[in-house]
Each structure stands twice: as C-alpha cells, then as structure tokens.
Amino acid sequence: MRDPDRMTTDLLDTRTERAPDAPAAPNPSPAAPNPSPGPAVTYVPQTTGRIDIEHLNVYYGAFRAVNDVSMQITPHAITAIIGPSGCGKSTFLRTLNRMHELTLTARLEGSVRLDGEDINGPDVDPVALRRVVGMVFQRPNPFPTMSIYDNVIAGLRLTGRPKGTDFDEVVERCLRKAALWDEVKDKLKSGGTSLSGGQQQRLCIARALAVEPEVILMDEPASALDPVATLRIEELMAELRSSYTIVIVTHNMQQASRISDQTAFFTMGPDRAGYLVEMDDTAQIFTNPKQQLTEDYVSGRFG
C-alpha cells in the first residue's frame, strides 16, 4: 500500500493523477521528474514520511518568524516540538503542509523535502500535498453542519474519491483507529459538534486518518482538553505511531517526554525570530541536553 512510487505521483497535480486502481509503476526507482531521490526512497523503500528541512526561514511580511531551521523528521516516529510561546513552533509546523500559505503575507526560504521531493517545488499541488500530510489543530474543529459519519468521510467525499468507496467501512475503521468507535457507533447520524471536546478532537483525528495521510501534523492537539481527554489522545498517538509519521507541537513538556521519540527545542532569538536550539532523542533532551538553554528550559528555569 505504501509503495515508494506513490509519493511522487501523489504530490503532482491531481489533474495528472493516475487512475485509482492502475498498477504502480513496475520500476522500483523513483520516477524520472525527480533526478535526486531522497535517502528515504533510496535506503528505506518500505517506509515513507521522512521530512528533511534545510535552512528554513519563514517571514510574515518583513518579520522573520522562523530563523534558519534545519532538521530531519524520522518516519514512523513521534517528533515533538517544544519551546516558549511565540517561538515559531506552529509557524514551522504549518510550513510542513503549506498551510502557512493561508496567511497572505507569509513567505518561505530554504527547503522542505518529503521523501526527497521538495514540497514547494513548481509541480507540487498544495491540495495533493495536504492529502499526504494531514493536520490536527489546537481546538477541535469538526464541521458543524455535518454528522459524525459525514465528518469522517468529508475528506473523501469532497475530494471526489472513487465512487465505489465503501464509506461505512471507512467510517468504522477510522473511528476505531481514533478510539472513538465504541462511544459513537450508535449515534453516527448526530451532529459532530454534539460530542465532548475530547471526543471532537478524536473525531478530527479520525477525519484526518480517513484521507490516508502518511504524515500527521498536530498543533497542540490536547491543549484545549482536560487531563483525561489528553491522556486518551496520547494513548491514541502511541497507537498511530507504527503507521504514521507524527509531528506534534506542544507546550506541555511532560507530554513531549511521555509520547515522543525525538524532541526539538525551539526558542526565540533577540530579533524575536524562532530558531532551533537542539534536536535529539527525547530521553537525551530531557536528561542530558547538550545546550545550556535546553537544560534551563526543560528544568523549568525559563519559558
């Protein structure tokens, strides 16, 4: 299902997309339009969802929000991004599926490559990119006009997926994955906003899963939830970890240390631009960081 060639085709403009059940190209090497295949394609063909960020700068008008960030995001692992408020964590996250473009003044320098392919390349359609790199937001945002059922399949129905799709199956599978099925299976037709905050957030996760992304970006997904609901989201992320690449922005350091494999620590420079101080295995960041700034932050001395 996750063959390496899918990525190249998926990111190209959907107008040129292959028929849904056409066989994948027999050639295991990447397609011709991409002359420099990324390491993920070359060395780990069965795994996709590796993101390489190089010298990324993000500006809002004249203001630089993110300053020269370079990092690698490991596929099928949870990468946490921590740091004080206003240090560009969310801005950084939004550049990974080009949601930053919704802000008219935003612009970007540097490169973000998904399995070797530049996601800001001229042929890349942001709509197709976002089907591969999904997102869960801080505040649960189910569509208020849709039922629970319709919320889950919204991404499929509104992107014109093949007519034959078995929506019932998709809804059950995604709600099960999002650990919500047992709570809502008897009221699938009631409104998505009738659920509690934590349930709504799991519904949003189910909705994101339904379009079968490979990377899921989470922007403080539990910060608007109570501790019990937060715990459920964390358990859910641990289960999703084996099949998806997850990048989570969080204010909550305990959360980062509990759930993530890798942790990146951002902070603000004197010009208020956010930059990456240090990125390492989570255990390393929280027990034995290399930078004094990181140590000060994780031990609660500032931020």
Interacting residues with other proteins (CB under 8 A): 97, 99, 102, 127-132, 134-135, 137, 139, 141-145, 154-155, 158-159, 191, 204, 207-208, 211
Q: Which is nearer to other proteins, 150 or 278 (CB)?
A: 150
297 contacts 285 by C-beta, under 8 angstroms: no
Q: Which is nearer to other proteins, 11 or 78 (CB)?
A: 11
CA proximity to 20, closest of 40, 1, 45, 47? 1
Q: What's the chain's Rg over C-alpha atoms?
A: 19
Q: Which is nearer to other proteins, 64 or 207 (CB)?
A: 207
Query: Nearest distance from residue 254's CB to other proteins, in Å?
Result: 26
Query: Nearest distance from residue 104's CB to other proteins, in Å?
Result: 8
- Report the number of secondary-structure helices (H) and strands (E) in the chain: 12, 10
Residues β-bridged to residue 218 = 136, 248
Query: Nearest distance from residue 96's CB to other proteins, in Å?
Result: 11
Q: How many CB atoms lie within 10 A of CB 35?
A: 6
Strand order in the sheet with 133-136: 117-118, 106-114, 51-60, 63-73, 274-281, 262-268, 78-82, 245-249, 215-219, 133-136
Query: Nearest distance from residue 135's CB to other proteins, in Å?
Result: 4
Query: Nearest distance from residue 191's CB to other proteins, in Å?
Result: 7
Q: Which is nearer to other proteins, 101 or 296 (CB)?
A: 101
Q: Which is nearer to other proteins, 132 or 276 (CB)?
A: 132
Pairing of strands 78-82, 262-268: parallel
